[in-house]
Structure 1
């Protein structure tokens, strides 16, 4: 099933599941690679992607033109995940003309009918790259996240949060060192576009590590200095922080990218992929993964809810999707809070 094209697979680019090691291929020169390092002892400084051997396809999303693969490197131990995704096209006509229609581009026609023609297009080298992301070493948690699975809806009450979700959160072992590295100016400093160093209401606004530098796919993250795990921990005392993220973040984006607040989608994820509260800023015309119901909560709505009721998120039912056989799915299932199919209950074949 994972080898077939999937429109409803895992959200693989919300920027949420950032690994301890990240490798990005340079968009300008495919012969060079940029390796973002962390400070751990096992820091991976070089990976030879030509030595990657595919073990299995985790999912193939035809709509997003993205494929996720699990595999290994010949010269290294442990599993790796490689994601290949088609990049956005440039916006300006001069780049399009020179890159796609200047005589160096090869066109092979494979369909003609009246006024309609289809071609395979092979553009110039500088415009035919594929955005490539690597997670190495990849844990089973990473592999599960990127594997296409059946989905189930959870209506999480605050009681369920305390009995099931919170113990699950406290048991998670995914490293958040990459966040500390950004906040402490140890990594990704070139990606920071704004910083307010106030420890209570301050935050760092950084471009998403998978952003392909095209304005029509702009995506950023706001990382507060105040440590909050998720939406469930927010109350009225956090309103100054949330308003600051909204106001200062939109102002910084307007100045840097000339995109007004009215063309930004600003939201949280719940459940998030990592439990350090963060806010997504996304260009409104960009249909990023994870922007729909059962996943995204608009910052403006969260602020309004807390203004109306200071402890709103300790009373509200929050509905979201869990993946079959994920740790959270298993915990809800064993708690009796998850309705599964009759066939699954009876172990049908």
Structure 2
């Protein structure tokens, strides 16, 4: 019984824990494992940020009211992003609170559209198969309509040098002729790379970069053709080289390059992430298509240089609130005529 009495209280063990080194950081930096000691014996402490309380509007208002130390990271058109603190500093002095690193990454879309609201709302997800016919008759016209609504203003602001130029970590002005990674060919297409707005710009385990091409004729992976293979290989090579040059603690085989379909916006772009970044919905099968796999598919597809991704069926997922589901795939499933196209 004496041994039981001498055991320290569970909560006292946390205070007695002496951190030694970080073992692992995952879930985009929200969970860590620390190696340390308690009374001379090694132990591992894992810590994970608690889920946000969301049970009532009052709780949400209280969360918002507690946000402090907001630091602007950048803005472009209707998109803004910040670092901030969640206000969990009740038991520390104001000076100590000011020393604490921010624990929130905030993105603000304002003013937002109904499409934004649908995108960020919880909804049932469906797998759909887009045949070349469905793409040509219904999805391509939908893409065209969205581009005409001005939803690419923020992309063009970056490409044309009006915003976020201080964030550009690689700018390639394009090449005309000369030997490239696959022989003699012309590169008329420049691109630039910058941090994705969802990355905190410091945690290498959750690194997420975005490459935007200057050319305007490729809206999505559907526009890629066999003739684009040399260009895509060049893009891959330059993106890998540029990333490891900017972040020397990483190596090329620690990076993953992929393209979304359906993408959030219809201007061709490539995501560059750390392979250790836990794959959420945006990297899941049915959303992310590996750049290397796209290149391989284009190289082996039958047909001449004009054959491409518009000639194959693609399977991916859609939320039931998306316009493509409500206007195209939902009616097709019910045997009705699609509303779009």
Match for residue 316 of structure 2?
320
The structure 2 residue matched to 1:237, chosen from 227, 236, 254, is 227
Change (3 A) 1:125 1:220: same
**TM-score normalised by L of structure 2:** 0.64
- 1:139 matched residue in structure 2: 113
What does 1:30-179 correspond to in 2, within 5 Å?
Answer: 30-38=69-77, 126-172=100-146, 173=149, 175-179=151-155
| CA–CA distance in structure 1, aligned partners of residues 90 and 239 of structure 2 | 41
**Are the aligned partners of 1:203 and 1:224 in contact in 2 as well (CA < 8 Å)?**
yes
* Structure 2 residue ranges without an equivalent (≥5): 1-50, 53-67, 175-186, 337-341
Match of residue 295 from structure 1: 287
What is the RMSD computed on CA atoms of the aligned residues?
Answer: 3.4
Tell me the residue number matched to 1:92.
none
For 1:127, what is the secondary structure of its paired residue? Answer: coil
> What residue is the counterpart of 1:95 in the other structure?
none
- Name the CA distance, whole Å, in 2 between partners of 1:85 and 1:297: 33
More deviation in 126-135 or 250-259?
126-135
Q: What does residue 211 of structure 1 align with?
A: 199
Q: Higher helix proportion, which one?
A: 2
What do the CA deviations read for 1:296-331 (whole angstroms, capped 9, x no partner)?
110001111111125241332111111113210012
After TM superposition, give the deviation of residue 169 of structure 1 in Å: 1.1
Higher alpha-carbon Rg: 2
Name the CA shift for 1:277/1:30 in 2 (closer, same or farther; >3 Å). same
Matching residue within 200, 207, 220 for 2:188: 200
8 Å CA contact retained: 2:257, 2:270: yes
Q: Distance in 1 between matches of 2:82 and 2:119?
A: 12
SS at match of 1:293: coil
TM-score (norm: length of structure 1) = 0.63
Contact kept, 8 Å, 1:202 with 1:241, in 2: the verdict is: no
Q: Give the secondary-structure state (helix, strand or coil) at the position aligned to 1:154.
A: strand
Shift of 1:163: 1.5
Farther off after superposition, 209-218 or 309-318: 309-318
In structure 1, the residue matched to 2:326 is 330
Q: Distance in 1 between matches of 2:98 and 2:157?
A: 37
Unaligned runs of at least 5 residues, structure 1: 7-28, 48-81, 88-103, 108-121, 341-349
